[in-house]
Structure 1
Amino acid sequence: MRTTAVAGAAFGAALLLRPREVIRAVGADPELPGLVVAARVLGARHVVQAVGLTVKPGLVSTPASLIDGLHATSMVALAAISPSYRRVALVSAGVAGALGAGSRPRP
């Protein structure tokens, strides 16, 4: 779970500090309405979630996994209905799915 927390924190920090560059890196247009703000909000969530997974993994792992699963689902839905946001939504869904799987509680 530590690897997941580090990956989530790094991705979140990149979204917070360099959202336009991250958006361009996935082949999307940072000038799409609301995209930079959404990237920063998502980045903040990833950083907070990573801190929680580091400090209280037993308490945070299940909610973190569920939140990432919901986020991935919502991004797949966005990709299905919005061609303009499709690429960035699918990348976001993939990252959320990977982080969600990595934060799942271990038996």
Structure 2
Amino acid sequence: MTTFQHLDIPTLQAWLDERRELALVDIRDPMSYAQGHIPGSRRLDNDSVGPFIDATPRERPVVVVCYHGHSSQQAAAWLAGQGFDAVYSLDGGFTEWQLRHPHRVEA
């Protein structure tokens, strides 16, 4: 069974600093996303997931962000099942990212 991996915040920070090519998706509600999100992330919902899957190379790492790192695990497992090679759920979610990196949040 295809599965996802857990990703900690320091690793994501390093990947972003290295400008590593990845797909960073945020599954929180539209208002929360609009109020603040990790730079470079795109909001993913039921309407946008189809085009995202069609447009994203399967070998590109996908990092899923939610509020606290819980619902992102289900979304990451589902995306892994769509054939992506490497799917990650961000442990601690956006809440922990914002706490550790308040200067790395954009609205």
TM-score, length basis structure 1:
0.29
Structure in which a larger fraction of residues adopt helix: 1
Structure in which a larger fraction of residues adopt strand: 2
- Larger gyration radius, structure 1 or structure 2: 1
Name the structure, 1 or 2, with higher relative contact order (CA <8 Å, separation 6+): 2
